[in-house]
């Protein structure tokens, strides 16, 4: 497979707010490409696929943890923060990845689980063996398991308590996630020091930022519920000051699966910023809800609420990732409806969520896949594509835990989907061979050969989005519509719309999405934009101008959308 010459984005290298315009791609190194035939994806394998990612238009990669780890939680159980897991390669391979990505104007952010370590980490082993030693207070110890009963259990399918007993130290330790992941004790200055050293180590290696895993949970307190405690925010303000001072242009991205206001708190304020970016957990499940309920009111509410963030802050918008589709941040009625639509088989559920990939969730319906992506690429913030979703990869609900949607990337119809030359039995996870999503049908090579494939469609949207910076940088104003199934908003540059500019510019884009499972006509109230001509940004066709009374009627096919530039 060869790819066309790179498209470079002049000035990106100097842009400290690059992350607000970038298109991100979450890539599991373990499952992307295996260079040495041991059945496990690795860094040289990923380097070999950078041309593909560049061709797709990706600006930045997010790598889930690549550190040494016993691998009992997909690497989120770190046993050494200053190395690379041997099966992925070496620190030199990592330097090579950063260099080769940067040569292609592509950035690398890595995952950093700072809330907890693996119980195999040397810090924890020392803390168990020597309670009075230098690591004695690195973790959260207690003589009983009674403290903080209000702190919820996140991995509710596997854990019954947030405390576990350590036989050696004869005390309980606190853990927010699996019991093999003890929480670090942020009340210890030595932990702060150690964590800053880790952050500097990777920034010195050239990474462009971090996804801050499970960041709400750093501190616990007797008053709060252990999510976004004031001291956690204070820690982030300090970390941000250090990063901005010593490493300008690098980003901190919050993984905070919380309600809108709580997530937005991780941006901090203009005067006292915390994270540069935060994942938009509130909006994500509501996209899936709208697709089946054919109603957009919840989406409208949450969009109206979450767009108000400090200048320079950016959302990370996503449809799926390596975890379950979390239903924690919806009410019980919505949750039950979503289980009914999307997780009708018990095997599809895990904890408070659904462990399936995008294409199977949407029953492989092309119109829905296009509608969902069109929304992903036009919401405020940077879109994150989960590896394989660009070709509509399937999942395997017979695998354990969240491995259902972490199977090897499907490159070709050949052995192991072109992921690896290993004996198929040796792969760390089997390739998908289901009726609908078998790798012999769904793979990059065959979609490259089909001009109307999902892959080409997604790439096209990526490029159209990147040609309109307002989609990354602009604000969002919801447009009232006459239909409960139609979502409409205008993405526009800051400030009032410029009156009749001398040159034609796109300072605003009207985005309209029909979530109904039938065609319809809808009237939009576009008072502010009365008289403006509209042009389809994909094909360039002129649409009727917004009438003088601001009431624009459009017809939309089943689950279709428009992106119309407002001239």
Nearer to ligand GLC, 215 or 444 (CB): 215
Exposed/middle/buried for residue 11 (C-beta within 10 Å: 0-12, 13-18, 19+): exposed
Residue 214 binding ligand GLC, by CB under 6 A: yes
Q: Could you tell me the smallest distance in angstroms from the CB atom of residue 154 to ligand GLC?
A: 8
Q: Could you tell me the smallest distance in angstroms from the CB atom of residue 36 to Ca ion?
A: 4
Q: Give the integer Cα–Cα distance in Å for 20 and 218.
A: 26
Residue 348 binding ligand GLC, by CB under 6 A: no
Residues 381, 382, 385: CA angle, nearest 5 degrees: 135
Q: Which residue pairs from 128-133 have beta carbons closer than 8 angstroms and sit at least 24 positions apart in sequence?
A: 128/166, 128/168, 128/169, 129/168, 129/169, 131/169, 131/171
Q: Which does 208 bind (CB under 5 to 8 A by kind): Ca ion, ligand GLC, none?
A: none
Interface region with ligand GLC, contact rule CB under 6 A, candidates 68-76, 218-226, 390-398, 499-507: 68-76
Q: Give the integer Cα–Cα distance in Å for 471 and 507.
A: 10
Which residue numbers are catalytic?
Answer: 213, 255
Q: Could you tell me the smallest distance in angstroms from the CB atom of residue 185 to ligand GLC?
A: 17
Binding residues among 273-332 for ligand GLC as defined by CB under 6 A: 322-323
CB proximity list for 234: less than 8 A, separation 6 or greater: none
* Beta carbons of 493 and 507 less than 8 angstroms apart: yes
Interface region with ligand GLC, contact rule CB under 6 A, candidates 71-79, 345-353, 472-480, 529-537: 71-79
Q: Could you tell me the smallest distance in angstroms from the CB atom of residue 557 to ligand GLC?
A: 37
Q: Which does 34 bind (CB under 5 to 8 A by kind): Ca ion, ligand GLC, none?
A: Ca ion
Q: Could you tell me the smallest distance in angstroms from the CB atom of residue 420 to Ca ion?
A: 7
- The single-letter DSSP state of residue 514 is E
Interface region with ligand GLC, contact rule CB under 6 A, candidates 73-81, 133-141, 188-196, 530-538: 73-81
Residue 119 binding ligand GLC, by CB under 6 A: no
Sheet holding 325-326, edge to edge: 325-326, 353-354, 349-350
CB proximity list for 197: less than 8 A, separation 6 or greater: none
Interface region with ligand GLC, contact rule CB under 6 A, candidates 70-78, 161-169, 309-317, 435-443: 70-78
Residue 74 binding ligand GLC, by CB under 6 A: yes
Q: Give the integer Cα–Cα distance in Å for 405 and 385.
A: 14
Q: Give the integer Cα–Cα distance in Å for 193 and 135.
A: 12
Q: Could you tell me the smallest distance in angstroms from the CB atom of residue 521 to ligand GLC?
A: 42
From the centroid of its chain, how far is CA 175? 24
Q: Which does 38 bind (CB under 5 to 8 A by kind): ligand GLC, Ca ion, none?
A: Ca ion
Sheet holding 171-174, edge to edge: 141-142, 171-174, 163-166
Residue from 32, 62, 76, 217 in contact with ligand GLC (CB under 6 A): 76
Write the DSSP assignment of 366-423 as a string of letters.
HHHHHHHHHHHTTSSSEEEEETTGGGT----TTSSGGGGG-PPP---SSGGGGS--S-
The DSSP bridge partners found for residue 252 are 210
Residue from 213, 229, 274, 395 in contact with ligand GLC (CB under 6 A): 213
Q: Which does 323 bind (CB under 5 to 8 A by kind): Ca ion, ligand GLC, none?
A: ligand GLC
Q: Give the integer Cα–Cα distance in Å for 307 and 358.
A: 25
Q: Which does 470 bind (CB under 5 to 8 A by kind): Ca ion, ligand GLC, none?
A: none
Q: Could you tell me the smallest distance in angstroms from the CB atom of residue 351 to ligand GLC?
A: 10
Nearer to Ca ion, 100 or 493 (CB): 100
Residue 183 binding ligand GLC, by CB under 6 A: no
Please report, as ranges, the residues that interact with ligand GLC according to CB under 6 A. Answer: 73-74, 76, 113, 177, 213-214, 255, 322-323
């Amino acid at each position: 497979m060869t790819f066309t010459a790179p498209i470079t984005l002049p000035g990106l290298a100097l842009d400290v707010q690059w992350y607000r315009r970038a298109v991100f791609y979450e890539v599991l190194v373990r499952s992307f490409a295996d260079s040495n035939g041991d059945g496990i994806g690795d860094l040289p394998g990923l380097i070999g696929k950078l041309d593909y990612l560049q061709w797709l238009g990706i600006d930045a990669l997010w790598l889930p943890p690549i550190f040494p780890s016993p691998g009992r939680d997909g690497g989120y159980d770190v046993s050494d923060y200053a190395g690379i897991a041997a099966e992925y390669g070496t620190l030199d391979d990592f330097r090579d990845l950063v260099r080769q990505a940067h040569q292609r104007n592509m950035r690398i952010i890595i995952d950093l689980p700072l809330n907890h370590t693996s119980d195999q980490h040397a810090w924890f082993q020392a803390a168990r063996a020597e309670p009075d030693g230098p690591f004695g207070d690195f973790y959260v110890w207690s003589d009983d398991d009674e403290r903080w009963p209000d702190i919820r259990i996140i991995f509710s399918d596997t854990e019954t308590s947030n405390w576990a007993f350590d036989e050696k130290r004869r005390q309980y330790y606190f853990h927010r996630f699996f019991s093999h992941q003890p929480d670090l004790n942020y009340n210890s200055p030595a932990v702060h020091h150690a964590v800053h050293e880790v952050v500097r180590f990777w920034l010195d290696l050239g990474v462009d930022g971090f996804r801050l895993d499970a960041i709400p949970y750093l501190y616990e307190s007797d008053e709060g519920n252990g999510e976004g405690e004031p001291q956690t925010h204070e820690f982030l303000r300090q970390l941000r000051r250090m990063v901005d001072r010593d490493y300008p242009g690098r980003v901190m991205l919050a993984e905070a699966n919380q309600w809108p206001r709580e997530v937005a708190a991780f941006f901090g304020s203009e005067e006292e910023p915390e994270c540069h970016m935060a994942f938009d957990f509130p909006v994500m499940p509501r996209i899936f809800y709208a697709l089946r309920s054919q109603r957009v009111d919840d989406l409208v509410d949450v969009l109206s609420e979450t767009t108000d963030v400090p200048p320079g802050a950016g959302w990370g918008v996503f449809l799926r990732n390596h975890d379950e589709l979390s239903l924690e941040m919806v009410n019980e009625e919505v949750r039950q409806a979503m289980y009914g639509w999307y997780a009708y088989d018990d095997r599809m559920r895990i904890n408070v969520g659904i462990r399936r990939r995008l294409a199977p969730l949407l029953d492989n319906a092309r119109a829905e896949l296009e509608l969902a992506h069109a929304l992903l690429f036009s919401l405020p913030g940077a879109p994150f594509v989960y590896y394989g979703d660009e070709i509509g990869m399937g999942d395997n609900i017979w695998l354990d835990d969240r491995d259902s949607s972490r199977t090897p990337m499907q490159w070709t119809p050949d052995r192991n989907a072109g992921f690896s030359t290993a004996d198929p039995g040796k792969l760390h996870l089997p390739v998908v061979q289901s009726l609908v999503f078998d790798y012999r049908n769904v793979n990059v090579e065959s979609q490259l050969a089909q001009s109307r494939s999902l892959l080409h469609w997604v790439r096209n949207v990526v490029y159209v989005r990147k040609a309109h910076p307002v989609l990354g940088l602009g604000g969002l104003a919801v447009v009232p519509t006459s239909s409960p199934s139609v979502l409409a908003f205008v993405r526009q540059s800051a400030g009032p719309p410029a009156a009749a500019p001398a040159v034609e510019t796109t300072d605003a884009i009207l985005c309209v999405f029909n979530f109904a499972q039938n065609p319809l006509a809808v009237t939009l109230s576009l008072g502010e934009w009365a008289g403006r001509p509209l042009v389809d940004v994909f094909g360039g066709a002129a649409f009727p101008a917004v009438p003088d009374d601001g009431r624009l009627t459009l017809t939309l096919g089943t689950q279709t959308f428009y992106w119309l530039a407002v001239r």
